[in-house]
Structure formats: C-alpha cells, structure tokens
A = this chain, B = another copy of it.
Amino acid sequence: MTVKQLSLPDLVDGCLELGVPGVGLWREPVAEYGLAAAARLVRGAGLAVTTLCRGGFLTAVEPAERAAALDDNRAAVDEAATLGTDTLVLVSGGLPEGSRDLAGARERIADALAELAPYAAERGVRLAIEPLHPMFAADRCVVSTLSQALDLAERFPADRVGVAVDTYHLWWDDRVGEGIERAGRGGRIHTFQLADWTTPLPAGVLTGRGQLGDGAVDFRWFAAAVAKAGYRGPVEVEIFNDGMWARDGREVLAETVARYRAHAA
C-alpha cells in the first residue's frame, strides 16, 4: 500500500532489485490483477507474501450485515491461503451508526473471531488483530491499544489469533512496551508494521502517515522491543500518504528501503 501506484509486476521487480525479500499485499490490487495470477507472480519471483490486508469490520449488529461480513472474511482467509501467506490482518470495525457502545462492539469482534479462527486455522492462516490509533475508534476500529487487542486475542490459541504491532497506531502509548512483552511472551506478534507519525493531519486523517524518519516515532525502540519479545518475523512498511502516492513508485520504494536502513534496521 506504501507504493500503491505500482502495478503488481512493477512492485515485484522493485522488490527484487532492492533486495526486499517479501511483500504485504492488499486484497483490492490482488483482486484486480487476479488472485491466482498474483500468487504465481509473487511467489514465482521468490518473494514471500508477508501478510494479506485486510479482513475485519466485524462490529455490525444487524444479522444480514453481520453474515455478509463473516462471508467476506472467509473469502479473505481463502485469498490469504492461495497467496501463501500465514497471516490475515484484521481491522476490527467501528461503532455501528448511532451506537455509543464500545464494549458491546468489542464483544461482537470476539464472537466473530470464534467463528473465523477455526475456519482460518484449517487453511493455515492466522488472524492478526490490528489495534488502530484511537482517532479511528468511532468509524474504523474500536480496538485502540495493544492491550485491548491482546484481551481479544488471548481468548484463542496463539497460532490462531494474534496481533499486528504497527508503530503508527501505538507510538503514543506509555503501555505499549508492556503490551509488546505480553504479546511476545504469548507468541502473538503476527506482524510488525512501520509508519511514522507526522502532523498536521490531513482531513479525514487516513492518509497522513509519514515516511520513516519524518516524524515522532522512535523505530529503533520499537524494533528492539519486538526483538526482545522474541519476534523474528518480517517487518512491513505500511504508509498511506498522498504525497508519496503522487510520486514515482519505484523511487518511493527505493527511498523507503533507504529510510528503513537509516531509521529502523
């Protein structure tokens, strides 16, 4: 998503050229290219598919809406399995229209996980709950902290449900260190994602993530924390940024690798 202006073949070429060993994919560009073709292309090039983004949006109350969300998540699991990744990232969903019941919404996520986790496990896919920054709590994700994500994940076996640790969403939290330790101890860090926090935020706040090194996040602190917690998996860079999307994608990819080396590796 950091270089969504690149076609899938260009993305693969760019990764090979720069020595990037794996790539996290999003469902929409995969569907556009064709699921089977995308799987062949990426894995044929020797690249790992680190994660698939994203399932989730599991907070609906209305039964038909809820059933549709579960269907869509089962489809996402199938896609993850076809792509050969072991991890589907879940963005839980916000409050239903007019609702103010955060606790109830979080409980519905747990109910949905109970249905989805066994389905995913049969296909070799783990679910990674991604806490999103509290500014998304109303409209996108009622799971706002690593602690909340772990409270949900720990109701299930660690090889079925874990968490995504994303610096952009968690950097402000003085309890994130203990959360990472707890997640690591339980074997529940299923992916580690990087983006920087920059201000001012744009309208809608979705596309204001910063290139590594441009903002407030201490990436080395995070990298050390997940390493100390036993995480040895891939590190993904996931930046939504209108300015970066408007530039040449290969150039942005090269810059991102350089920034990763300078600020996080």
Contact = CB atoms under 8 A, between A and B. Distances in A.
This chain's copy number in the assembly:
2
Interface string A100-137: 11110010000000000000000000000000011101
B100 A199 contact: no
Interface of A: 95, 99-103, 106, 133-135, 137-139, 144-145, 148, 171-174, 197-205, 215-218
Contacts of A174: 102-103, 106, 144-145, 148
5 contacts: A135-B205, A200-B204, A201-B203, A201-B204, A205-B205
A202 B103 CA distance: 27
Q: Which 4 residue pairs of A and B lie closest in terms of their CB atoms, listed nearest first? A: A137-B172, A138-B216, A203-B203, A100-B218
A218 B101 CA distance: 8
A174 B173 CA distance: 13
A171 to B, nearest CB: 8
Contacts of A202: 203
Nearest to A99: B216
A217 B102 CA distance: 10
B199 A200 contact: no
Given A95-B216, A100-B218, A216-B100, A134 B205 contact: no
Nearest to A221: B100
A94 to B, nearest CB: 8
